[in-house]
Structure formats: structure tokens, C-alpha cells
């Protein structure tokens, strides 16, 4: 059997957003499939500064972060695409001007406006990133940092379409629902990250498997010939899935790897 490359989203796939951890069944299953000779990669919309907890819980062969903007294999950074500080400063000005709020996500940390946001989702995200030690208290008035991508939140007071018109030539805008939008430099996605890693390791596309649950996994589901959908998922991914497993909390990763024959002869 050819060696497989397995690519896992984090939130809602490896990581339970209910229990706030990776199930032990998934940790053990990933360890076992690696012992069988397969490669395990984390493929996430999170920037690398937001993955410290996952790195402690899960053994992997590389990190594909920020929707393909930052890639490591082993201990080597093989790709790092950043939005320069000067462009980041203009983005901040426009986000504020058009009445949005959000988070700027970089390699070294994540940046919020100072004070409490009028948008509850931004406040919740800030607390989560503080818990994960990814929050950097520089505020948006500091223009010294670059970023990899950013997310914006909109409400009834926001002029989101006017803002989107200022960035649509540079960024893909992913609607995450509930007025929350992920903005990624054009030409970068979870799919481009998968393609880069397959080329790096000389692995055929038919030997790549992707695992996900939400619409920011769409690009890698469309790219891959082998897409595994979590039990709880966005329906937009269903046309691309070859296998639907159980939820994270129901040990969906271990279940899928066992049923797909990726845990060895004694599964």
C-alpha cells in the first residue's frame, strides 16, 4: 500500500469546540497511522501562533497554517507569505472607516482594537486567543507588524460591501456565517497548501486524504480526490465527500481511520 498523506482541519475536526480538546482516541489514531508509514499534517485557517496547544496534543509531520499562507514540514518553514505592515495599516483604517471590527492574524500573534468591541463575537474570539497565548496587546494604532490574513465582523451599522469592494482584488472573502468573514490573500488556500506538501514529498494526489467540517475547508475538498466529512458539518461540503464519519465527540477521526484501513492490519 502506498504511503498516504492525511490533512486535518483543527476546529470541529480534530478539536472539539464543545470539550475544548482533541479526543484521546484521535491522538492515538494519528500516532498509529504515522507508525504505519502515513504522514499527518495539520491544515488550518488558524495562523501558526494559534496552534501551540494542538502541537502539544498531536504528533504531526507538518503545519499548514493561515489558509496556506504558512507551511512547515518537520522543523523547516517552507513557505511564509505575509501582508506587509504598510498594507496592514491601511486595512485597519478601512475596517474602522466602514464600521467593521475583527482580528488581524499574524505568525507572531493576533491583534485586536483596544477596549471592548460592540460585536460580541469579536470579544469572544479575543478571550479565546488570550487563553491560547496568541493575543498580542499592541492594538491597531501600532503599525509595526505584518500579518498573514484577517477576519472581520459586521453588524447592521457596518458598510461591509463597501469595505469588501476595497479588498476584492487582493483577498478571497470567505463567509463563515453570522456576519463573520475570513479574508485570505488571493492564490492561497488549504488546497494550495496540500498541493505544495504533496509536491514536497512526491506523493500522488490519489494518496492524499483531507478531513474537515466547515466551508473554509471547501477548497481542499474540491481539490482532493479523497475527502472525509465530519458528522457535524456544513452541507456545502457534502457533494465532495467520499466518506462521512462521526462527530469529533463521537471519536470521528479514529472511526474514519479505522474504517478506511489506515491503522494497520490489527484495526
Is 96 domain-assigned?
yes
Q: Between these two residues, 1 and 69, which has the higher pLDDT value? A: 69
* Cα three-residue angle 113-117-121, rounded to 5 degrees: 110
Is 265 domain-assigned?
no
- Tell whether 23 and 106 lie within a shared domain: no
pLDDT of residue 86: 98
Average pLDDT of span 13-33? 95
Is 238 domain-assigned?
yes
Residue 8: enclosing H or E segment and its boundaries?
A: strand 5-8
- Tell whether 15 and 72 lie within a shared domain: yes
Grid cell locating 199: 509536491
Per-residue pLDDT band for 267 (boundaries 50, 70, 90) equals very low
Average pLDDT of span 157-176? 96
Between the CA of residue 196 and those of 63, 104, 147, 253, what are the distances in Å? 12, 25, 21, 24
- Tell whether 71 and 99 lie within a shared domain: no
Q: What is the 3-state secondary structure (H, E, C) of 9-39?
A: CCECCCEECCCCECCHHHHHHHHHHHHCCCE
In this predicted structure, the answer to whether residue 216 has a pLDDT above a threshold of 90 is no
Q: Find the CATH number of the domain harbouring 128.
A: 3.30.1240.10
Average pLDDT of span 123-133? 95
Residue that finishes a domain, picked among 137, 155, 185: 185
- Tell whether 143 and 103 lie within a shared domain: yes
Average pLDDT of span 137-164? 97
pLDDT of residue 215: 87
The percentage of residues in the chain with a pLDDT greater than 70, rounded to a whole number, is: 99
Phi/psi at 52 (5° precision): -60, -45
Cβ-Cβ contacts under 8 Å for 150 (sequence gap 6 or more): 83, 91, 102, 103, 104, 105, 183
| Contact criterion met (CB below 8 Å) for 252 and 212 | no
pLDDT of residue 266: 56
Could you report the per-residue pLDDT of 87-103, keeping only the tens digit for each?
A: 999 999 999 999 999 99
In this predicted structure, the answer to whether residue 159 has a pLDDT above a threshold of 50 is yes
Q: How far apart are the first and last CA of the chain?
A: 15
Is 168 domain-assigned?
yes
Q: What is the 3-state secondary structure (H, E, C) of 88-104?
A: HHHHHHHHHHCCCEEEE
Residue that finishes a domain, picked among 185, 208, 231: 185
- The mean predicted confidence, pLDDT, of the chain is 96
- Tell whether 140 and 201 lie within a shared domain: no
Could you report the per-residue pLDDT of 136-146, keeping only the tens digit for each?
A: 999 999 999 99
Strands 243-244 and 39-43: unpaired
- Tell whether 42 and 166 lie within a shared domain: no
Residue that finishes a domain, picked among 161, 185, 209: 185
The structural domain count of the chain equals 2
Structural domain that includes position 99: 85-185
Average pLDDT of span 175-200? 96
d(CA 60, CA 74): 8
Amino acid at each position: 500500500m502506498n504511503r498516504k498523506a492525511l490533512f486535518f482541519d483543527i476546529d470541529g475536526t480534530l478539536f472539539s469546540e464543545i470539550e475544548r480538546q482533541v479526543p484521546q482516541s484521535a491522538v492515538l489514531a494519528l500516532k498509529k497511522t504515522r507508525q504505519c508509514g502515513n504522514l499527518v499534517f495539520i491544515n488550518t485557517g488558524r495562523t501558526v501562533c494559534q496552534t501551540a496547544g494542538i502541537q502539544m496534543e498531536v504528533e504531526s509531520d507538518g503545519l499548514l497554517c493561515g489558509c496556506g499562507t504558512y507551511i512547515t514540514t518537520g522543523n523547516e518553514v517552507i513557505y511564509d507569505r505575509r501582508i506587509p505592515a504598510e498594507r496592514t495599516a491601511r486595512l485597519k483604517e478601512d475596517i474602522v472607516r466602514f464600521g467593521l471590527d475583527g482580528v488581524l492574524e499574524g505568525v507572531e500573534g493576533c491583534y485586536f482594537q483596544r477596549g471592548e468591541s460592540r460585536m460580541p463575537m469579536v470579544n469572544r474570539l479575543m478571550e479565546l486567543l488570550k487563553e491560547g497565548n496568541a493575543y498580542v496587546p499592541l492594538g491597531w494604532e501600532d503599525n509595526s507588524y505584518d500579518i498573514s490574513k484577517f477576519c472581520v465582523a459586521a453588524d447592521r451599522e457596518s458598510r461591509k460591501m463597501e469595505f469588501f469592494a476595497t479588498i476584492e482584488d487582493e483577498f478571497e472573502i470567505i463567509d463563515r456565517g453570522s456576519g463573520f468573514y475570513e479574508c485570505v490573500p488571493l492564490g492561497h488556500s488549504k488546497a494550495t497548501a496540500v498541493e505544495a506538501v504533496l509536491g514536497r514529498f512526491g506523493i500522488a494526489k490519489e494518496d492524499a486524504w483531507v478531513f474537515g467540517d466547515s466551508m473554509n475547508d471547501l477548497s481542499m475538498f474540491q481539490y482532493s480526490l479523497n475527502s472525509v466529512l465530519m458528522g457535524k458539518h456544513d452541507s456545502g461540503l457534502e457533494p465532495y465527500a467520499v466518506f462521512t464519519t462521526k462527530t469529533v465527540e463521537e471519536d470521528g477521526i479514529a472511526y474514519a481511520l479505522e474504517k478506511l484501513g489506515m491503522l494497520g492490519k490489527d484495526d
